[in-house]
Structure 1
Amino acid sequence: MKFLLLMFKNVRRNLLRSFLTSMATIMLVLVITMVWSILDFLDEATREKEKDLKAIITERWQIPSRMPFAYVSELERGGARNPGDVQPTDSMTWQFYGGSLDKKTVERNNLLFAIAMEPKKLETMMDDLDKLQGQEKTDFHEVVLKLAANKQGIILGRDRLASLNKRIGDKFTLYGLNYRDIDLEFTIVGKFPEGGRYDQSAVMNRDYLNDALDAYQREKKKAHPMGDRSLALFWVRVNSKADFQRIAEQVTSSPAFTNPAVKCETAASGVANFLDSYRDILAGMRWMLTPAAIISLCVVSANAIGISVRERRQELAVMKVLGFRPLQIMMLVLGESMLLGMVAGAIGSWGAWYLINEHLGGLALPIAFFGKFFISSNALWWGPCIGLFAGFIGSVWPSWSACSVKVTEVFSKVA
């Protein structure tokens, strides 16, 4: 205990240096924590599951995917044609409708792209929304019922509501961009729960879009150019990886899906493919930014403790005269650096967790279709460990120098 108290006293000896070292550690740990949280989330999103996994069916040879909506009835059965074929446990369709709130001017602040889907699938197939609990689940269920009852309804994310300067109950018209000559009137029936993932999202009733395409065909006496290729994605849920492999084979070999041909991949694989365009950025974050921050942290720690040891050479010589062994002096210097690093690292990571998760509601950093990121709960131990590691690495040489102080040389210079 006395040894620990001595470490605390030495850390407090030069408060300005300790404060500056701590601030540098806090900022670098905060950066490392944010980078690791983003990478950890993306790694989890692209990690293959063995049970209860989702798969995405898309057009094989074209991006963006454009499939006939007539595929839906067969896809809901997973391409099953024979007795014993595997069928999905659940599924959902994704169509995309984009438009502008201003017919003449198309600007960022008046653009809105909505996913057209079957309302009830929001609660069973959408990530995170299918795991809501308690009052939050009850409230969102009411919103889904409103969307199902009102074809012109739309659900918006909180940030999207704010950027459009709209409130629940407001009505507006979207002038179609990807569906030219199809303009739709909407009523905002609700918003997505807090959490960040869907803050920029919008979901509409798929029947409204499909009815509009049918009305266009009746009025124009011809199908809309997008009428026979409005289905962008089809999601299925299966019990196991073996079931997925069976369904993938059924779908790709089915004669019902030849014009255009389709492919089936796990959701994790689909996300990984989508993130491929961010490969260089993510590699830079993983292999350049993070190591550079850790090295900088070690250098800061080494510089601070090195200056402290040089200032205390006479004191260290006196300690040797009083009976302190070299190992004890080494552990004292190492302990001071690691103690300061651990405390500053904990403040940096815990502060990042509270500031970003609780105060800011997520880190707004759009990567692919992820709009916000949150600091991982693992950061609560990442920070102290990073601080300890940097403190140890940074103080190895200064602590060796401290325990190697020669009493005769120090006192001969004083004399």
Structure 2
Amino acid sequence: MKYTALVLKNLVRSKRRTILTVLSIAVSLFIFSALVSVPTVADQILGNTASGTRIATHNKAGLAYSIPVAYKQRIVAIPHVEVVVPESWFGGVYHEVSDQFPNLAADPEQVDLMWPDWGISKEQFEQFKKIRTACLVGGDTMKRFHLHLGQQIQLRGTLYPFNVTLNIVGMIGGKAPPNFLLFRRDYLEEAAGRPGIVDNIWVKVDKPENVPQVIAAIDEGFANSSAETLSESEAAFIGNFLDQYRTFFRMAELLGFIVVLMIGLVAANTAAMSIRERRGEIAVMRSIGFPARTILSLLLAESILIGLVGGILGCGSAYIVLRAFSIGGAAGPFNTIHMPPMILAETLVVAALIGLFSAIVPASSAARRNIVDALRTVA
């Protein structure tokens, strides 16, 4: 602690260089922490949403194809099945095309039994079952558009050639996706002319260990039909949906590490230049009794402090930007991006390592250099 004032004084000796170095590290770690946070979306969604007892049944040909809603009656009769809820994707927009968020329709009778972990009160569920135009809205969507309970909104159809007018009766919370909007499928069916088809059928079984058995029974029951099914656990269903982003996730991680490597090289060059300019000062300190170890510690402390300040600025800015980006409503799963505490900690560690390794070689060389040679060089 007794050398703290000396470290701080040396940092402000060349204010321009210190500020530019801090800013360069801050920018690089802003990019690093933001990019490394992107792959955490998949784990976050799976951890927050997936249940061990829910199954998603859809057309074997792909999610773009439908299945008959009549399949529900046969699925209900399968042993260990407790709840069955057909679901259809609406895909409407609120005002403009940029105002997109996931919105879909489900049969209202057993929504509360299928998703009891959505944090919706019994009264709100009852309102959803009672009011034909009722809808439940995720917390992030409520904040994004400044919505409130009791408000009437209209979604403009994109997949369907009509709009739907909805009344907000509850806010989705708990483990539900925070940006979803759910309304009643009977309302959608009526507006669409009752086509009798759905995109998915959600199934809830009594115990997680019975999930494979039920999946096999469902798919075998509809084998060789005009609309064969593919049933998956909720975790597998969400994971397959996220697979289309896996390459992007890997590229984000790779770019993040490349950015850190490049700024590490820049910081090392800056540290070497700074220490080279101070050879005379270091030689004088050695000549008046400062041990080489103390001088090395002072030089490394300066560099690590610069790295940490840059890291705090960089990852702090990234945290704020990602938070605003999430609330502002990105497309696809990216509207759930946030920076986990572990990424914040990792970024600060990376910042300290940039400071350490950028200065350790030139600092060690300067601190251990022969005093007479050093003084003769700068004389």
- Superposition TM-score, scaled by structure 2 size: 0.81
Cα shift at 1:123: 5.3
CA distance in 2, matches of 1:309, 1:111: 54
Cα shift at 1:241: 5.3
CA distance in 1, matches of 2:184, 2:312: 47
CA distance in 2, matches of 1:74, 1:256: 13
Q: For the structure 1 residues 361 and 408, does the alpha-carbon distance in structure 2 shift closer, same or farther, using more than 3 Å as the test?
A: same
Counterpart residue number, 2:87: 94
Counterpart residue number, 2:60: 60
User: Larger deviation: 336-345 or 250-259?
Assistant: 250-259
CA distance in 2, matches of 1:110, 1:29: 31
Are 2:226 and 1:259 aligned?
yes
Cα shift at 1:70: 0.8
Preserved CA contact (<8 Å) 2:100 2:331: no
Q: 1:276 aligns with which of 243, 250, 258?
A: 243
CA distance in 1, matches of 2:147, 2:49: 39
Cα shift at 1:336: 1.7
Q: Which amino acid is the alignment partner of residue 208 of structure 1?
A: Y
Other structure's SS at 1:2 match: coil
Preserved CA contact (<8 Å) 2:295 2:367: yes
Are 2:229 and 1:236 aligned?
no
Other structure's SS at 1:52 match: coil
Are 2:131 and 1:150 aligned?
yes
Q: For the structure 1 residues 304 and 95, does the alpha-carbon distance in structure 2 shift closer, same or farther, using more than 3 Å as the test?
A: same
CA distance in 2, matches of 1:2, 1:123: 64
Other structure's SS at 1:108 match: coil
CA distance in 1, matches of 2:207, 2:309: 45
Cα displacement string for residues 66-112 of structure 1 (whole angstroms, at most 9, x for unaligned residues): 111011233345x33xxxxxx2455533212356899xxxx736989
Q: For the structure 1 residues 54 and 27, does the alpha-carbon distance in structure 2 shift closer, same or farther, using more than 3 Å as the test?
A: farther
Q: For the structure 1 residues 406 and 90, does the alpha-carbon distance in structure 2 shift closer, same or farther, using more than 3 Å as the test?
A: farther
Cα displacement string for residues 183-240 of structure 1 (whole angstroms, at most 9, x for unaligned residues): 4652332474689x86754321112223456xx4xxxxxxx6xx24x21112334576
CA distance in 2, matches of 1:396, 1:198: 47
Q: For the structure 1 residues 4 and 167, does the alpha-carbon distance in structure 2 shift closer, same or farther, using more than 3 Å as the test?
A: closer
Are 2:189 and 1:210 aligned?
yes
- Superposition TM-score, scaled by structure 1 size: 0.75
Counterpart residue number, 2:166: 187
Q: For the structure 1 residues 252 and 194, does the alpha-carbon distance in structure 2 shift closer, same or farther, using more than 3 Å as the test?
A: closer
Q: Which runs of 5+ in 2 are unaligned?
A: none
Among all aligned residue pairs of Structure 1 and Structure 2, give the percentage whose two residues are the same amino acid: 21
Counterpart residue number, 1:401: 365
Preserved CA contact (<8 Å) 1:52 1:237: no
Cα shift at 1:58: 1.3
Counterpart residue number, 1:70: 70
Cα shift at 1:115: 0.7
CA distance in 1, matches of 2:374, 2:243: 60
Counterpart residue number, 2:274: 308
Preserved CA contact (<8 Å) 2:326 2:334: no
Cα shift at 1:151: 0.8
- Could you say what the CA RMSD is over the residues aligned between the two structures, in angstroms? 3.9
Cα shift at 1:246: 1.9
Preserved CA contact (<8 Å) 1:350 1:383: no
Counterpart residue number, 1:362: 326
Q: For the structure 1 residues 74 and 14, does the alpha-carbon distance in structure 2 shift closer, same or farther, using more than 3 Å as the test?
A: farther
Cα shift at 1:323: 3.0
Counterpart residue number, 1:338: 304
Counterpart residue number, 2:97: 108
Q: Which runs of 5+ in 1 are unaligned?
A: 81-86, 217-223
Preserved CA contact (<8 Å) 1:51 1:239: no
Q: Which amino acid is the alignment partner of residue 301 of structure 2?
A: G
Are 2:358 and 1:379 aligned?
no
Are 2:295 and 1:329 aligned?
yes
Q: Which amino acid is the alignment partner of residue 165 of structure 2?
A: F
Q: For the structure 1 residues 255 and 111, does the alpha-carbon distance in structure 2 shift closer, same or farther, using more than 3 Å as the test?
A: closer
Q: Which amino acid is the alignment partner of residue 378 of structure 1?
A: M
CA distance in 2, matches of 1:131, 1:179: 27
Other structure's SS at 2:300 match: helix
